[in-house]
């Protein structure tokens, strides 16, 4: 027997070399899993992962981000834009650098989007403890701030010996590339262990392809589903992000063209049936269209495809009111497929829609339902035109209404351009008003609705799809929370357009506060008033009169240090 060949590397060198060799494949299309590594160095990673990234920079590109939370958002947006087939790794120091990634990690996991997080960790050898930024615990030495990643990671591990990556890395890759399990994967890397050498088997660094399966639903349940459909007179499809991730938009179109079933969309699913289409009725639920919500109210069968059925989608379980309404759910994740006591079809959206289409051949909704759908759609289109066009502005108004900014962008953007948004009042308006003409044209982070995702996310979208125009729509509150990745975009000469909507505070939460009787307390940007002692003084920002057009609000960062105003 000959000994298996080995390569002597530090743990960090081995990790970086391994990551550069991982690939994904779906439907015969193969690509590198990692687009690169974002990082911010500190004493917890500069000597280990930092050295390894410098050495392997030709195989895996390093990107310098400005904030650790933001770099996770950028990685998540990149992964979402790639339908979860590609992502980024993120390296941080120990302590605050690591915990800054927690919000991004939670967002990725909640949105079911893969990101690989590599926070530095305290010395496994412990002798210098407590090191700078170390959390000390009186009851255990086996505790660090990185334990906070456990509930928000789909896989979590701490590498306390260099050889542990031999078993940890395959698990990390399995989870990252699993359509049902994916989310944040955290490998906490003690700073001493990063730099410890080990004789790794050379086979670890062979290229490895992770094939993304198209899981098939149970045959018997598929037949049951077909029976349910044949008995239905007023079915409605609720299309979620899973339709887009699975690249099932063509299959969905064929399914509804054959059956006449209307399609309502969640935030993540918007664009699943691109506009215009006679059966596209727009957003559903709390922020949905009247057309979709009236159809939802009366539907006798709700066919949920690739949705988590959050409270916004179901309007806190009030959207579907018909007595005896049944749910049929197609989802790769059991957790989602079983919600609302649905008949669960656990499988890939595209494969399952295709099989179901065959099983219901000949079924079509009645002509009365078809004409009701057409009338509701026409009504809603007219309403959108009314609220988004210039004619609705009164001459007295000093500021352009948000709906008209949306209307102007709708007119100006190419169908393949991408709008990016996450929190505030914009997501609700966009869900109702935006007409997504391309499955990847509407990029909303509305699982975590994290203020600050917008610009960092826009950067990730553009990195994933450089050929598309990327337009970040961001409220002033969200902008002030996290805008620094503009500098990263300039550094990388990546052009994104940022549309900033300044309404002097948290209009969305202000409205909510008014509606619960709190009068907008604590939601408006005002100077502290010396007379009252409250935040009801002057507005800190000069109110801009912009009757002459929305374009003033659009700044284009063109990938050089200069900023051009349109």
Ligand X SMILES: Cc1ncc(C[n+]2csc(CCOP(=O)(O)OP(=O)(O)O)c2C)c(N)n1
- In the complex with ligand X, the residue whose CB is nearer, 329 or 455, is 455
Instruction: Note whether 458 binds ligand X by CB under 6 A.
Output: no
Q: Select from 537, 536, 467 the least CA-distant residue to 495.
A: 467
303 binds, among ligand X, Mg ion, none (CB under 5 to 8 A by kind): none
Q: How far is the CB of 430 from ligand X (least distance, A)?
A: 11
449 binds, among Mg ion, ligand X, none (CB under 5 to 8 A by kind): ligand X
Instruction: Note whether 507 binds ligand X by CB under 6 A.
Output: yes
Q: Which of 242, 424, 447, 458 binds ligand X (CB under 6 A)?
A: 424
E-only strand ranges, 191-300 = 197-201, 208-211, 235-239, 263-265, 280-283
- In the complex with Mg ion, the residue whose CB is nearer, 254 or 481, is 481
Q: How far is the CB of 96 from ligand X (least distance, A)?
A: 17
Residue 397, CA atoms < 13 Å, CB-side half-sphere: 14
Sign of CA dihedral 260, 265, 270, 272: negative
Residues that bind Mg ion (CB under 5 A): 475-477, 503, 507
508 binds, among ligand X, Mg ion, none (CB under 5 to 8 A by kind): ligand X
Q: Select from 246, 250, 252, 251 the least CA-distant residue to 264.
A: 252
120 binds, among Mg ion, ligand X, none (CB under 5 to 8 A by kind): none
Q: Which stretch binds ligand X (CB under 6 A): 43-51, 144-152, 169-177, 420-428?
A: 420-428
> C-alpha distances in angstroms, 215 versus 30, 112, 350, 352?
18, 17, 10, 8
- In the complex with ligand X, the residue whose CB is nearer, 449 or 488, is 449
Q: How far is the CB of 221 from Mg ion (least distance, A)?
A: 46
Interaction pattern, residues 81-110, with ligand X; x per rule: CB under 6 A: ------------------------------
What are the residues whose beta carbons fall under 8 Å from the beta carbon of 506, sequence distance 6 or more?
424, 475, 477, 523, 524
- In the complex with ligand X, the residue whose CB is nearer, 381 or 504, is 504
- Helices H / strands E in the chain, number of each: 21, 23
Element containing residue 396 per DSSP (H, E): none
- In the complex with Mg ion, the residue whose CB is nearer, 97 or 477, is 477
Instruction: Note whether 423 binds ligand X by CB under 6 A.
Output: yes
Q: Are 263 and 280 in contact (CB under 8 A)?
A: yes
Q: What are phi and psi of 402, to 5 degrees?
A: -55, -40
C-alpha to C-alpha distance for 304 and 313, rounded to whole angstroms: 11
Q: How far is the CB of 319 from ligand X (least distance, A)?
A: 22
Q: Which of 160, 340, 491, 503 binds ligand X (CB under 6 A)?
A: 503
C-alpha to C-alpha distance for 226 and 445, rounded to whole angstroms: 33
C-alpha to C-alpha distance for 53 and 60, rounded to whole angstroms: 7
The gap from C-alpha 344 to its chain's centroid, in whole angstroms, comes to 24
Tally of CB atoms within 10 A around 394? 6
Q: How far is the CB of 389 from Mg ion (least distance, A)?
A: 23
450 binds, among ligand X, Mg ion, none (CB under 5 to 8 A by kind): ligand X
**Which residue in the shown chain puts its C-beta closest to Mg ion?**
475
> What does the DSSP 8-state code read for residue 423?
S
Q: Which of 451, 463, 473, 498 binds ligand X (CB under 6 A)?
A: 451
Q: How far is the CB of 506 from Mg ion (least distance, A)?
A: 6
Q: How far is the CB of 505 from Mg ion (least distance, A)?
A: 5
C-alpha to C-alpha distance for 24 and 28, rounded to whole angstroms: 10
Which of positions 463-492 make contact with ligand X (CB under 6 A)? 475-478
Instruction: Note whether 293 binds ligand X by CB under 6 A.
Output: no
- Count residues contacting ligand X (CB under 6 A)? 17
Supply 110's token pair. Answer: 């909640």
Q: Are 430 and 444 in contact (CB under 8 A)?
A: yes
Q: Which of 449, 465, 488, 499 binds ligand X (CB under 6 A)?
A: 449
State yes or no: cis peptide before 279, omega within 30 of 0.
no
- In the complex with Mg ion, the residue whose CB is nearer, 545 or 560, is 545
Q: How far is the CB of 240 from ligand X (least distance, A)?
A: 20
- In the complex with ligand X, the residue whose CB is nearer, 274 or 510, is 510
> C-alpha distances in angstroms, 111 versus 131, 148, 326, 380, 449?
35, 19, 26, 29, 10
Instruction: Note whether 226 binds ligand X by CB under 6 A.
Output: no
74 binds, among ligand X, Mg ion, none (CB under 5 to 8 A by kind): none
Phi-psi region of 44 (alpha: psi -120 to 50; beta: other; left: phi over 0): alpha
Q: Select from 448, 449, 467, 471 the least CA-distant residue to 459.
A: 471
162 binds, among ligand X, Mg ion, none (CB under 5 to 8 A by kind): none
Q: How far is the CB of 381 from ligand X (least distance, A)?
A: 25
Which string of b and e fits 455-469 if b means at least 16 CB within 10 Å? bbbbbbbbbbbeebb
- In the complex with ligand X, the residue whose CB is nearer, 133 or 478, is 478
426 binds, among Mg ion, ligand X, none (CB under 5 to 8 A by kind): ligand X
Which residues of this chain interact with ligand X, rule CB under 6 A?
A: 423-426, 449-452, 475-478, 503, 506-509
């Amino acid at each position: 027997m000959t000994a298996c060949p080995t390569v002597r590397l530090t743990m960090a060198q081995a990790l970086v070399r391994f990551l550069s060799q991982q690939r994904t494949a779906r439907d015969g299309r193969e690509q590198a899993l990692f687009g690169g590594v974002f990082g911010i160095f500190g004493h917890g990673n500069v000597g280990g992962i930092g050295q390894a990234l410098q050495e392997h920079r030709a195989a895996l590109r390093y990107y310098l981000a400005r904030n650790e939370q933001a770099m996770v958002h950028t990685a998540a947006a990149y992964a979402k834009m790639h339908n979860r087939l590609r992502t980024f790794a993120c390296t941080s120091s120990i302590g605050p650098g690591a915990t800054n990634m927690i919000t991004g990690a939670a967002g990725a996991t909640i949105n079911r989007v893969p990101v690989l997080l590599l926070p530095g960790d305290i010395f496994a050898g412990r002798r210098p403890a407590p090191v700078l930024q170390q959390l000390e615990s009186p009851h255990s030495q086996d505790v660090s701030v990185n334990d906070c990643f456990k509930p928000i990671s789909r896989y979590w591990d701490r590498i306390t010996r260099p050889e542990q990556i031999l078993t940890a890395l395959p698990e990390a890759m399995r989870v990252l590339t699993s359509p049902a399990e994916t989310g944040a994967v955290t490998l906490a890397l003690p700073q001493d262990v990063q730099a410890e050498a080990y004789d790794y088997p050379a086979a670890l660094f062979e290229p490895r392809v992770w094939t993304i399966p198209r899981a098939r639903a149970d045959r018997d349940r598929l037949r049951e589903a077909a029976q349910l459909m044949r008995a239905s007179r007023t079915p409605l499809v609720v299309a979620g992000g899973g339709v887009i991730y699975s690249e099932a938009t063509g299959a969905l179109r064929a399914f509804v063209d054959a059956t006449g079933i209307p399609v309502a969309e969640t935030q993540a699913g918007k664009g699943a049936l691109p506009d215009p289409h006679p059966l596209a009725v727009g957003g559903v639920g709390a922020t949905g269209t009247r057309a979709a919500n009236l159809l939802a109210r009366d539907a006798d069968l709700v066919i949920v495809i690739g949705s988590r059925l959050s409270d916004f989608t179901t309007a806190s379980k009030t959207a579907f009111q018909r007595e005896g309404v049944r749910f049929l759910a197609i989802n790769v994740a059991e957790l989602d497929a079983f919600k609302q006591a649905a008949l669960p079809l656990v499988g890939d959206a595209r494969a399952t829609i295709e099989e179901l289409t065959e099983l219901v051949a000949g079924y079509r909704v009645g002509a009365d339902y078809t004409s009701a759908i057409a009338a509701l759609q026409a009504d809603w289109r007219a309403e959108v035109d009314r609220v988004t066009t210039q004619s609705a502005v009164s001459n007295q108004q000093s500021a352009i209404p948000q709906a008209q900014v949306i209307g102007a962008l709708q007119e100006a953007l190419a169908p393949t351009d991408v709008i990016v948004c996450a929190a505030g009042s914009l997501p609700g308006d966009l869900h109702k008003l935006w007409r997504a003409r391309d499955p990847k044209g509407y990029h909303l982070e509305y699982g975590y609705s994290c203020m600050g995702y917008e610009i960092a996310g826009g950067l990730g979208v553009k990195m994933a799809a450089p050929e598309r125009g990327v337009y970040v729509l961001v409220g002033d509150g969200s902008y002030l929370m996290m805008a620094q990745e503009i500098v990263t975009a300039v550094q990388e000469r990546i052009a994104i357009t940022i549309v900033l909507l300044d309404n002097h505070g948290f209009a969305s939460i202000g409205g909510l506060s008014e509606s619960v009787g709190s009068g907008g307390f604590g939601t408006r940007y005002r100077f502290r008033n010396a007379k009252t002692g409250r935040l009801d003084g002057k507005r800190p920002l000069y109110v801009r009169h912009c009757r002459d057009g929305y374009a003033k609000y659009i700044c284009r960062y063109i990938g050089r240090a200069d900023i051009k105003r349109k």
